[in-house]
Amino acid sequence: MRGVRNPFRLSTSESIETDSDFLRLFGPGVLDLLPEGATNGQLLFIRSAPGGGKTTLLRVFTPSVLLSLLSLRSSEPHREIYSKLRQMDVVDDAGLRVLGTLLSCRRTFPSLDDLDLPRSRSDRLLRALLDARILLGALRTALEGAQLRYPEDLERLTVQPLESGESVPGLDLPCSGGTARNWAEGLERMVCDAIDSLGPLDGLEVQGHDSLYSLAVLDASAIHVDGTAPAARWLVLLDDVHKLTHGQRKCLHATLVEGRHRTGVWVAERLEALSTDEVLATGALEARDYDGVVNLEDAWGKGQGRRSFSFAVGTIAERRARMAADVAGGASDVGSFAGALDPGQDHVEHLAQINNAIATVRARLNDVAQAHPRYGEWIRSRTTEEGTPREVLVGLRTLEILIERDRRKAQMSLGFELPAADLAARDASAVRNAAELFLAAEFRLPYYFGTECVANLGFQNVEQFLRLAGDLFEEALGAALIRRTAVLSPERQEQLLLQTCKTRLDELPRRASRDVMRFIDAVGRYCRYETYRPNAPYAPGVTGIAISMSDRERLMDPSFLSASDLHRRFADMLASALSQNIFRAELDRSVKGGRYMVLYLNRIVCLKYRLPMGYGGFREKSLREFMGWMDRGFSKKEELAL
């Protein structure tokens, strides 16, 4: 297989084969989302929609990656990663301080629940299987951390008796690594035999475990390599926990909480695994600090996080572009992602279009001046302002919006001309942003382009960003191949982004219900309606909706939902949309004296409805109205009524 032409296509951690490639492509910004002391024996839930970067985050803490980092730490781009991990006390110059053992819950675990055993028995088997796999993983990890081979060097491992005096059923301590491996494999085999068995399970040999003994072993640092503990701390990284059944997740959660282990355990799962009330309980809360849960998209999405996400994915993009250039051996002219996107500041290539637009807007303003002399001075002052053609055009369109706003308020005016100073006072960047959006829609000027826009469209989901950036980069690579300019024009960027967003949205029905699809459409149409009102009342536009916190409480209340099918449907729909990252919730926002949950639309939906990329513009509605949208959509009749 040849080198990777377009590293943006390596959208999952699993698709990156070598640890050195993984480190080259890893954006260390995600480490900042972890709470302080995260590797010091905490139980931490890491959640996100698919593609949020959970597995990538876990992989960083595995010994093969950390050892690779140690050997590369003095070179770019590894220096920054090393520095962050050193600060977290994960590595130091002497070696590994943390040994992370990664276990995917994808295989076998869910089949346990097909055995139709009583819950308590099924839970015991789940714990036994977890014990077997965690211990096997730990033995392998201990050897990897000491740069020894598995299984050849197992005899250099010992498992010491636990300080607490606790025993491990069926395993006499102390024992060699080989004995511990045989014990774990035997346990695993017995559970798997039970799963594979077609006969009755009454005589089932394995009784299961009532707690996680493997974690007790790690708590006691009982695994020794050549007589000493291989690192300061253990970290158990459980991935794909959403693959467990609901009952298994509950059991795992309870076992980990009750166990109060000193070993750090990170549980990575998709939001879709959460129940409706659990999902609705998620959401970024400005004031709230860490409480044992990191929702990756929420963490990126709140406050300064958005800027951090933009910076982090910018780093990821540049690293991937660099790798593509290295693969091409200098044959590619695309050594930078940002360099492949024309920032389009001056719209030079659209000069004729802009001049036509200026003429059109000026003519409209002249008509206004004749019909409404009150705006004469505003118009004269604005039409004589100097600037680039684009600045002039935006200034004129902004004036149109401001006049529209004034006309709606000033029904009883005396007809005096408004002073130019008044215009300057009303001119704000938000209105100018709205004017740019209006102009783009009216005169077909590109609006969605540039690195910042692509980062915004990523909507705090790394996979979504990579998909969009990958399509742009692919075309830049294509242009470079045929010796054309590898810098994509704003127009072309917008076309490609529209195509990719459409494809991604077209894929949604596979994951989302009809209710979700109808509701997204309704919200998109509603936001477009509000955004493009001539006076731009919520400039630069509306990109979200809001539900009162009390309504949210009702949607999380099982007894309330059991009394109303419609509310139940709406709650399920909303939870599904949140878990798929279609909406991002921000909780407890203050609006007109009330407290609200704001639901921002995924930015690729905003692109479809030609909405701005910014946050802050949202409209609150009653549950009744929203539930009507879920059933009937946002109708034209309703649009007219508004």
Partner 1 sequence: MKAGLAERLLAKVMDWAPEDVARERPILQALADLKYDGYQQYSPGMRFVESFALWLAQFETVEQRRSAYDFVRRRLVYLGNAEMDHFAAIAYSDLIRPILIDAAAEAEGIPKYRIRSVLESDTFADLQNSTLFCGLSDGARIDFFRRANRQLSHEQIFQSYDLSEQKLTELSERLGADGADPPCRALVLLDDFSASGTSYFRRDGDTYKGKVAKFLARTQTEPIWQKLVRLPDTKVIVAVYVATDVAIQRIRDGAAGFLPTSTEWFQVAVVQRLPEDLRVDRESDDPFVALATHYYDESVEDEHFEKGGTDGRFGFAGGGLPLVLHHNTPNNSLFLLWAEDGRQVRGLFPRVSRHRSEG
* Closer by beta carbon to partner 1, 94 or else 482: 482
* Closer by beta carbon to partner 1, 1 or else 287: 1
Query: Is residue 502 a contact point for partner 1 (CB under 8 A)?
Result: no
Residue at token pair 């004031």: 287
Q: Are strands 98-104 and 175-176 parallel, antiparallel or unpaired?
A: unpaired
Q: Please, what is the minimum distance in Å from the beta carbon of residue 5 to partner 1?
A: 6
Residue at token pair 């992602």: 337
Q: Count of CB atoms within 10 A of residue 598's CB?
A: 25
* Closer by beta carbon to partner 1, 409 or else 483: 483
Q: Please, what is the minimum distance in Å from the beta carbon of residue 503 to partner 1?
A: 13
Query: Is residue 506 a contact point for partner 1 (CB under 8 A)?
Result: no
- Three-state SS string across 440-506, please? HHHHCCCCCCCHHHHHHHHCCCHHHHHHHHHHHHHHHHHHHHCCCCCCECHHHHHHHHHHHHHHHHH
How far, in whole angstroms, is CA 425 from its chain's centroid? 39
Q: Which of 74, 116, 483, 641 binds partner 1 (CB under 8 A)?
A: 483
* Residue pair 626/569 in contact by the 8 Å Cβ criterion: no
Distance CA 456, CA 343 (A): 15
Distance CA 48, CA 298 (A): 8
Sketch the per residue contact string, 322 through 341, with partner 1: x for CB under 8 A, - otherwise: ------x--x----------
Q: Please, what is the minimum distance in Å from the beta carbon of residue 182 to partner 1?
A: 28
* Closer by beta carbon to partner 1, 9 or else 362: 9
Show Cβ contacts of residue 370 under 8 Å, excluding neighbours closer than 6 positions.
none
Which residues inside 456-475 make contact with partner 1, applying CB under 8 A? 471, 474-475
* Closer by beta carbon to partner 1, 317 or else 578: 317
Q: Please, what is the minimum distance in Å from the beta carbon of residue 477 to partner 1?
A: 7
Both structure tokens of 88 = 């977290």
* Closer by beta carbon to partner 1, 25 or else 479: 479
Distance CA 119, CA 250 (A): 11
Q: Please, what is the minimum distance in Å from the beta carbon of residue 447 to partner 1?
A: 20
Q: How far apart are the first and last CA of the chain?
A: 58
Sketch the per residue contact string, 217 through 246, with partner 1: x for CB under 8 A, - otherwise: ------------------------------
Query: Is residue 482 a contact point for partner 1 (CB under 8 A)?
Result: yes
Q: Which of 6, 42, 141, 255 binds partner 1 (CB under 8 A)?
A: 6
| Closest CA relative to residue 183, chosen from 212, 214, 162, 148 | 214
| Closest CA relative to residue 443, chosen from 358, 379, 540, 527 | 358
Query: Is residue 295 a contact point for partner 1 (CB under 8 A)?
Result: no
Q: Please, what is the minimum distance in Å from the beta carbon of residue 481 to partner 1?
A: 6
Q: Which of 148, 481, 508, 517 binds partner 1 (CB under 8 A)?
A: 481
What does the longest C-alpha to C-alpha distance in the chain come to?
97
Q: Please, what is the minimum distance in Å from the beta carbon of residue 322 to partner 1?
A: 18
Q: Please, what is the minimum distance in Å from the beta carbon of residue 3 to partner 1?
A: 10
| Closest CA relative to residue 284, chosen from 267, 271, 297, 269 | 297
Q: Which of 190, 241, 477, 578 binds partner 1 (CB under 8 A)?
A: 477
Positions in the binding site for partner 1 (CB under 8 A): 1-2, 5-6, 9, 328, 331, 471, 474-479, 481-484, 492
